[in-house]
Amino acid sequence: MKAEIITIGGELLDGSQVDLNAVYLGSRLTSLGAEVVRISSVPDAVDDIEEATSRALERADLVITTGGLGVTADDRTKQAVARLFGRKLVLDEGVLEKVRARFEARDVPMPEINIAVAMLPEGARSIENQRGTAPGLLFEKGEALLFVLPGVPVELRSMFESFVSPFLEGKGLRRLAQERLIRTTGLAESEIAERIEQLARRLARTDVVYLPSATGVDLKVIGRGQTSVEATKTAEKSQEKIAAKLGSYVYARGDESLEKVVGYLLSMGGSTLSVAESCTGGRVGWRLTRVPGSSDYFKGGVIAYSDDLKKRLLGVKASVLKKHGAVSSETALMMARGVREKCATDYGLAITGVAGPGGGTKTKPVGMVFAAVAGGAGERVRELRLGGGRGSIRRAACQGALELLRRFLLNIEEPG
Amino acid sequence: MKAEIITIGGELLDGSQVDLNAVYLGSRLTSLGAEVVRISSVPDAVDDIEEATSRALERADLVITTGGLGVTADDRTKQAVARLFGRKLVLDEGVLEKVRARFEARDVPMPEINIAVAMLPEGARSIENQRGTAPGLLFEKGEALLFVLPGVPVELRSMFESFVSPFLEGKGLRRLAQERLIRTTGLAESEIAERIEQLARRLARTDVVYLPSATGVDLKVIGRGQTSVEATKTAEKSQEKIAAKLGSYVYARGDESLEKVVGYLLSMGGSTLSVAESCTGGRVGWRLTRVPGSSDYFKGGVIAYSDDLKKRLLGVKASVLKKHGAVSSETALMMARGVREKCATDYGLAITGVAGPGGGTKTKPVGMVFAAVAGGAGERVRELRLGGGRGSIRRAACQGALELLRRFLLNIEEPG
């Protein structure tokens, strides 16, 4: 079943409001097994609403509009659909009674303007609004369905869950698609594509969506099937095959963050961690402490933004800073060892780098970052060459350091 | 000028991603004086993209597409527009050279798949991508303009600001609306409304948009006029009047962040700062170091997530922790004094609190946070009672601490 969503309102077009109704409807329709093929946002104008609805009904089996059902001058949806179907607006006494009752319950006389709420296109089925005054509408045109729903989020959701969803399930729409996530870091989108595109094309009833960011690439694996069980099976099998191709670059099969995965590994080992951050200024600490309960394994650390504090709080030797510079594997290692010792933790994790925009040199350009981990049984250093602006470099540096720690804790080699 | 926006990608249709590119483009086009008459989201499929683009060009004078320009199998926009205009995709050597250079700069061989980036529709004008690999495209069809832009937000924005916006301004689109920002913290949206609504209603040709978040309320003041100069004058006068009503709660008239304002104040005084963070885990440090050049005044500090590190690294006395607890004004003050001394800075700023979800008690509930600042000439403590989840509490705690410091540096009283 192909579905289209039409969201109505000027505030959606001029950037003053994020279209969260479209996100909600897109997500709910997809999970019901419909394929959402278009979302259109149009102004509160009869012509625009009519044209968009008419086109959508040509392309899709199911169309849902949201917005423009209130009583103010910019609520035009009913006029538009009435014109599209060649119907008149007539007073629905039952609806008017309910609206009047809502006002009476609050001991307020009903403003006359609300009569407009009860004017419905002839022959349309009205849908009760349990959270507001304006009812929704359902039109059936041959095989196609048109739902006209309000734009107020609580009203929309209540109406969708109590009426639209059961109605569509009754028509035989079931969860025919299931999603599984694969989270990776350390490979560019194009490097991932090279590894999995051939496989992804061969996988039956499976779509793969790439979600790249400064810290890695997430893959959404969508499996389809005739039944919900079949779709789940397909999604999980495909997830497994794709993850296998990506090997140790996969840090989570699900929506866990890297800091959560690292926290889990530390918990499992009954180990503690401290951090020493230069160019990232505290972000690794912030990320680790996003996880509720992180105090079990994360103790804190040092933000050593200046060289003075690298010496003063972490015991980095002046001679090392002089010989190798603050941005070097040697300094990173001494920071990791220093913070581990000062904080009396099992592991110390350190980052130092050139985040830019200034401060780069020929041998140490903007984007050069060193991360180091020190533990009782060993140490590791990772050199990163990061692109993008200051923000991206710093985010990616944090991710790289956490990934270094993950591989170290799992005893997986660093990537070649 | 009528404009349409087409956003491309399955993740926009199935509810897995909010369409922030549409918000950005809608807002920018509106402020350039264009009327956005439709936003359509379509899947990465040649047929859908071609149909939507073709229709949009019939209705509007300006069409902008975003997304589907990468190198993976789900990037179809170029094929679609090439087919729509009856053009072939041909290799652009110049673009290929730039892509190759980006990989070489990172010492990585370019995966062959990236050649696809340099295949452009014959005769289209390419737009340089300063933040990524795939160039944008511009087609002119009679009076109508079609811009084909990337979907990665930083790439889209950079390309819009550096090329599209100047191009449209050159075509005679002028800013007939001008925006000015007022940034506040410490007042709720309703408290701001009480102070300014009467004034806002009286201000001619001015709209005020409230943009609330966990860290404060921004006000977008939109001034209109027959000319760009007139609109600017209106916006600036209205900004001034509204800001005057809000007094010391305004920390910026423009888009400066609070960390930037604080950094400016420290710079002006030739002073240095260190931080001691418990429940915020490093975020204040991260925020301060977002500002390029912050190393002039920010030296670093201590993430004292555990009580042990509060004693070990900051010299907080065990007796104070025992008597008043880790979440208390006494501990916050000792942390601020301790970090100031250990880091040898002019000011020390500290935060300790209960971020939740667990750990709250009757006397110290989730959301109770203390921030303290210590300087040579005095000290201040602020107690915050914050609502929301762990994330909101921690963000608001950072903002509260930075605001405490701002008022302290400016010698403005704490709010009553």
Q: How far apart are CA B400 and CA B371, in angstroms?
A: 7
**How confident is the prediction along chain A (416 residues), in pLDDT tens digits per residue?**
899 999 998 889 988 889 999 999 999 998 888 899 999 999 989 999 999 999 999 999 999 999 988 766 567 899 999 999 999 999 999 889 988 888 887 777 887 778 888 899 998 899 998 888 889 999 988 888 999 999 988 899 999 999 999 999 888 766 577 889 999 999 998 899 999 999 999 999 998 988 888 899 999 998 988 887 888 999 999 999 999 999 999 999 998 999 999 999 999 999 999 999 999 999 999 999 999 999 999 999 999 999 999 999 999 999 999 999 999 999 999 999 999 999 999 999 999 999 999 999 999 999 999 999 999 889 999 999 998 899 999 999 999 999 999 999 999 999 97
Do residues B327 and A321 lie in contact, with contact meaning Cβ atoms separated by under 8 Å? no
Residue in B14, B37, B299 nearest the CB of A305: B299
What pLDDT sits at residue A98? 87
Q: How far apart are CA A6 and CA A80, in angstroms?
A: 13
Residue B217 dihedral angles phi and psi, to the nearest 5°: -120, 125
Q: How far apart are CA B215 and CA B399, in angstroms?
A: 6
What pLDDT sits at residue B110? 84
Name beta bridge partners: A223.
A178, A206
Q: Which residue of B lies nearest to A23 if distances are taken between CA atoms?
A: B15
Cite the DSSP H helix spans in A203-306. Answer: 228-246, 258-269, 283-288
Q: How far apart are CA A62 and CA A29, in angstroms?
A: 10
pTM of the model: 0.75
Total Cβ atoms within 10 A of residue B91: 12
Taking CB atoms and an 8 Å cutoff, what residues of chain B touch A201? 73
Angstroms from B217 CA to nearest CA on chain A: 15
Residue A400 in contact with partner chain B when CB distance is under 8 A: no
Whether B38 sits inside 8 A of A27 (CB atoms) is no
ipTM: 0.75
Q: How far apart are CA A395 and CA A373, in angstroms?
A: 18
Q: What is the three-state SS of B72-136?
A: CCCCCHHHHHHHHCCCCEEECHHHHHHHHHHHHHCCCCCCHHHHHHHEEECCCEEECCCCCCCCE
Q: How far apart are CA A39 and CA A56, in angstroms?
A: 9
Tokens of B255: 């888009």
List, for residues B245-300, the tens digit of each pLDDT value.
999 999 999 989 999 999 999 999 999 999 999 999 999 999 999 999 999 999 99
C-alpha to C-alpha distances, A78 to A120, B3, B324, nearest whole angstrom: 7, 25, 63
What pLDDT sits at residue B379? 97
What pLDDT sits at residue A174? 60
Residue B161 in contact with partner chain A when CB distance is under 8 A: no
Q: How far apart are CA A187 and CA A219, in angstroms?
A: 12
Mutation target vs B (from A13, A224, A385; most B CBs, 10 A cutoff) = A13
Residue A387 in contact with partner chain B when CB distance is under 8 A: yes
What pLDDT sits at residue B398? 98
As averages over each run of 10 residues, the pLDDT of chain B (416 residues) reads 94 90 94 90 95 95 93 82 92 89 82 86 90 90 90 94 91 76 92 90 88 87 86 95 97 96 97 98 98 97 97 97 97 98 98 95 96 95 92 96 98 91
C-alpha to C-alpha distances, B366 to B18, B361, B388, B389, B397, nearest whole angstrom: 30, 8, 9, 9, 12
Taking CB atoms and an 8 Å cutoff, what residues of chain B touch A266? none
Angstroms from B307 CA to nearest CA on chain A: 9
Which residue, chain included where needed, has tokens 């999604």?
A235
What pLDDT sits at residue A111? 77
What pLDDT sits at residue A74? 61
Taking CB atoms and an 8 Å cutoff, what residues of chain A touch B303? 275, 282, 285, 300-303
Using alpha carbons, select from A45, A284, A360 the residue that is nearest to residue B281.
Answer: A284
Q: How far apart are CA A225 and CA A206, in angstroms?
A: 9
Residue B306 in contact with partner chain A when CB distance is under 8 A: yes
Using alpha carbons, select from B66, B76, B64 the residue that is nearest to residue B17.
Answer: B66
Mutation target vs A (from B286, B307, B342, B354; most A CBs, 10 A cutoff) = B286
Q: How far apart are CA B416 and CA B414, in angstroms?
A: 6
Whether A387 sits inside 8 A of B106 (CB atoms) is yes
